[in-house]
A and B are shown apart, each in its own frame.
Chain A
Amino acid sequence: MARPIERDEPARPAQAEAPPAPSADRAGKPPASGRDLRLDLFRGLALWFIFLNHIPNNVANWITNRNFGFSDATEIFVFISGYTGAMVYGRQMAADGMIVTSARILRRAWQLYIAFIFLFVIYLAEISYVVGSFSNPLYVEEMGALQFLSEPDVALVQALLLKFRPANMDVLPLYIVLLATFPPVLWALRRKPDLTLAASALMWLVATSTGWNLPAYPDDRTWFFNPFAWQLLFVFGGWCGLGGSDRLSRVVQSPAVVAACLAYLLVSLLVVISWWWPPLEGLVPPAIGDVIYPISKTDLSPLRLVHFLALAIVVVRAVPVDLPVLRSPLLAPMILCGQNSLQVFCLGVFLSFAAHFVLNEISGTLFMQVALSMVGIVLMVGLSALLSWYGRVEREIAARKHG
């Protein structure tokens, strides 16, 4: 399992020679041999949750963290992607230089773009099918909204420009933009980490207070995940991945901070439960509700951001990096998924389309919802196992050739 590289990256012989990860960890030193498996574990979990949440009307998405706190799987995914990205590419930047590493990052962004277009085609196929085969006077307005295919010249070009992003695929354009702009950010993070983080926080502040966002299609829409706001989590992840988490360890270890985090998580839990559990309905007083609602996902509301940070601190404390259970076979499937995040994410989006199709077309019973959710996760694990096996074989062959 010990592998100092991000498995997401295409296997490169140069990486095999890279030194092991510096102890970029938030709660004590990782074992000398390996990377922080918690990153993979929780990214894998986030990918499962994103898949479950993306199937509409699915009872299985009740287990996901969005029902128990302000933040959801997206925060975990973006933060860990920033963390591992900075760790892996930061090391490469030190070893191979700025230009080559930037090229690798951009190649990665290009792969994501291709994945986005691929998924968009599948999405179009499903929507075209629905529009063509389904006619119910009850849903004239909704169906009318899906008539964008009547002007393919516009819809397709807008999709290529990342302006037309169907629901469920919103994370991908965000990730593409974050990666495409990552080279200078990473450069700055390595030179002046605190200043870069401060600049990132300032940009988030400006974006949340002014609503500054990228334009989208159709009409006067904007991006669902405002990149000017969400970049903060990515940059903060990178800041932690480049050693910032070591400097935070005193904060993380402080009992007062952990107590405050737990208190915030508890309040958040109660508030979110009050949204769907009638007995708690009147929990939030209108005076407070008027201030905090609606909690913006688009602009990464401070409530969400703080919730994610509190969750991260509590998890880092509760799950130390050398916890034996991290190496148990029970958690291996989740870790595998986290190690192949791009492919697993894309497969998850595809599977959520497919599950939606089956639930509407064949049967939408509770049993089917649970069964499709489980089959989807098994397929995601299967794909990541296959990819990990393939990567290992390729590296062994490359090592033999070079050795």
Chain B
Amino acid sequence: MKNWVLSFVASALVLASGFSAQAEGTPVCAAPSELTRAGFTLPRLAKSLAAKKPTTVLVLNSSSLAKKSALKGGAEKDAPRTFPSFLEETLRTRYPDGGVVVTTHNEPRATAEAILADLPGVLAQARPALVIWQTGTYDAILGADTSAFSDAVNTGIGFIHDAGADAIVVSPQFSPRTAIAIDVAPYANALAWAARSSGIPFFDRYDIMQFWASEGIFDFDTARPSPSQFEDVHRCIGRLLVGMIVDGVDTRALGSR
């Protein structure tokens, strides 16, 4: 946690995704390299991409926004784009052959434990090469036991590997306004360890957003956020995730970099 403090010292800023094509006026999606490198390989995804086969990336999410927009009766135009959509766009640019599809499985208000029940079925249906699993927000809201949370995440990663897919876990987002009531840090820590011990990349959305806040790239605690903030943040998360995926696919063996 709080790698950003060191980042001040190191000021090791990189354009994480390596994509220079930034739209005019949109914030630069920068983050310290220790937050954006994969650290571990993604062999199953690499194999699928190398074979130029259609490749599915599954995003497991617990966002309640998606549910809301779905309730509106498919009012697609009203719903802002979330990071899976940017993820797909950027992945397709990076890997144009074979075709990359990003599908999202969304279970609002679900703890890691609650997701486990459906996970094998979802995996069997989607047959992904990579699963991006964002979890911990609802566990933090409920104050779920961190040991139980850890166990659930480890079990889930096991399911994903059994289904022949790679996994990246994503921590809950940084939310300064609600931090007094919802402390996500223990869950982000538990995720970091679960990822490390399972040998999979960990995308620390919490630390990255905290870094953006401290660098003034985004203002998350203002009462009146800019209308584009939601999409800007999700665009950046999508791009940084692709940076991590590319890193994990290109890294041949652990410790080679």
Closest residue of A by beta carbon distance from B207: A276
A-facing mask of B131-147, CB < 8 A → 1, else 0?
Answer: 00000011001111111
Stretch of A15-23, A110-118, A125-133, A234-242 that contacts chain B: A125-133
Q: By the criterion CB–CB under 8 Å, are B223 and A133 in contact?
A: yes
Closest residue of B by beta carbon distance from A165: B143
Task: Give Cα distance in the complex from A136 to B173, angstroms.
Answer: 13
Stretch of B19-27, B50-58, B174-182, B238-246 that contacts chain A: B174-182
Stretch of A256-264, A290-298, A379-387 that contacts chain B: A290-298
Closest residue of A by beta carbon distance from B230: A137
Q: By the criterion CB–CB under 8 Å, are A275 and B189 in contact?
A: yes
Q: By the criterion CB–CB under 8 Å, are A139 and B175 in contact?
A: yes
A-facing mask of B37-78, CB < 8 A → 1, else 0?
Answer: 000000000000000000000000011110010000000000
Q: By the criterion CB–CB under 8 Å, are B64 and A293 in contact?
A: no
Chain B residues within 8 Å of A136, by CB: 177, 220, 225, 229-230
Within the complex, the shortest CB–CB distance from A360 to chain B, in Å, comes to 4
The answer, yes or no, to whether A216 is at the interface (CB within 8 Å) is: yes
Task: Give Cα distance in the complex from A361 to B179, angstroms.
Answer: 14
Q: By the criterion CB–CB under 8 Å, are B230 and A360 in contact?
A: no
Within the complex, the shortest CB–CB distance from B161 to chain A, in Å, comes to 15
A-facing mask of B211-245, CB < 8 A → 1, else 0?
Answer: 00100000011010100011001000000000000
Query: Taking A167-B182, A275-B1, A276-B2 as contacts, is the C-beta distance between A138 and B233 under 8 angstroms?
Result: yes
Closest residue of B by beta carbon distance from A292: B193
Task: Give Cα distance in the complex from A281 to B63, angstroms.
Answer: 30
The answer, yes or no, to whether B3 is at the interface (CB within 8 Å) is: yes
Q: By the criterion CB–CB under 8 Å, are A360 and B177 in contact?
A: yes
Q: By the criterion CB–CB under 8 Å, are B3 and A276 in contact?
A: yes
Task: Give Cα distance in the complex from A218 to B144, angstroms.
Answer: 11
Tally of contact residues, B, Cβ under 8 A = 51
Closest residue of A by beta carbon distance from B234: A138
Partner of B142, one of A59, A141, A221: A221
Within the complex, the shortest CB–CB distance from B246 to chain A, in Å, comes to 21
Q: By the criterion CB–CB under 8 Å, are A56 and B183 in contact?
A: yes
A residues touching B (Cβ–Cβ < 8 Å)?
Answer: 56-57, 59, 62, 123, 126-127, 130, 133-146, 166-168, 211, 216, 218-219, 221-222, 224, 275-278, 281, 286, 289-290, 293-294, 296-298, 352-353, 356, 359-361, 364
Count of A-B contacts with CB under 8 A? 135
Chain A residues within 8 Å of B124, by CB: none
Chain A residues within 8 Å of B177, by CB: 130, 134, 136, 139, 142, 360
The answer, yes or no, to whether B5 is at the interface (CB within 8 Å) is: yes
Partner of A278, one of B3, B80, B149: B3
Within the complex, the shortest CB–CB distance from B191 to chain A, in Å, comes to 10
Q: By the criterion CB–CB under 8 Å, are B145 and A142 in contact?
A: no
Other than the given A137-B80, A275-B1, 7 more pairs (CB < 8 A) read A57-B179, A57-B213, A138-B230, A276-B3, A281-B196, A294-B150, A364-B213
The answer, yes or no, to whether B186 is at the interface (CB within 8 Å) is: yes
Q: By the criterion CB–CB under 8 Å, are A134 and B182 in contact?
A: no
